[in-house]
Amino acid sequence: MKIALIGAGKVATCLGPRLKEAGHDITVVYSRTVESACILGDRLGTIYTTDIKAVPASDAAIVMLKDDALKELAPAIADTLKGALLMHTAGSVPMDIWREAGAFKYGVLYPMQTFSKESRIDWSQVPLFIEGSSAPVLESIRGLALSVSPDVTPLSSEGRKKLHLAAVFTCNFSNHMYAIAEQLLATEGVPFRVMLPLVRETARKVESINPHDAQTGPAVRGDRKIIDEHLALLKDNPEYAELYKLISIDINKDLK
């Protein structure tokens, strides 16, 4: 399939090479910034542009832009790539943004993973969630998705919003907790790396036990003595203390 990549950020930098490896022809890399377009275009051995109107005819386009940029550029993309299958990779943007932009064949290809430009992603382990404007379009997207990962599931726009919400709790909020832990450890000169075995074991456990049953710690035990000691340690960080209280009560309502 001839595919235009609209965007050259984290998702595009990880997905682009996988698409090429799967045998697809990357026709162009578009980005608003010349540098990022050039870097990814050179990596994929294809042309690049900062002009959406200069994107060449393609069978499909995968749009990997921030939500606001996607909403802004969708009409221009639909106008430039008339007849192409248009997909976005956003978690919380409805599929119908394409219909409103004037597209005829459109859908969603949402990878359930966190990305960075430096990451080496094992795409065989990445769930892909898809949506299509019609049954034939959904089948086209499914075929494309299966060339990237064996784990492909149809999901509505509303379902994908909840999936994205769950991902925020699973990934973004968890990472914020790591950042808080790093700050607390730094006051004692302890590096965050001492937490890594705990991070790995916590993640490993929920592969075989549901997260509710895997919960440990003073909150689930109702250990008010330890909780009060921890809150005392956080007296100079009242926002962390409040967060500690809220999460502890959510784990064990008897702590109210």
**pLDDT reported for residue 118:** 84
**Can you list the domains of the chain with their CATH numbers?**
2-155 (3.40.50.720), 161-255 (1.10.1040.20)
Q: Are 35 and 8 in contact (CB under 8 A)?
A: no
Label residue 49 by pLDDT band (50, 70, 90).
Answer: very high
Q: Does the predicted TM-score (pTM) go above 0.85?
A: yes
pLDDT of 256 strictly over 90: no
Side chain identity at residue 58, one-letter code: S
CA distance 98 to 46: 26
pLDDT of 130 strictly over 90: yes
**Crossing angle of the two packed helices 238-251 and 174-186, in degrees rounded to 10:** 130
pLDDT in tens, 186-224: 999 999 999 999 999 999 999 999 999 999 999 999 999
**Plot region of 23 (φ>0 → left; ψ -120 to 50 → alpha; else → beta):** left
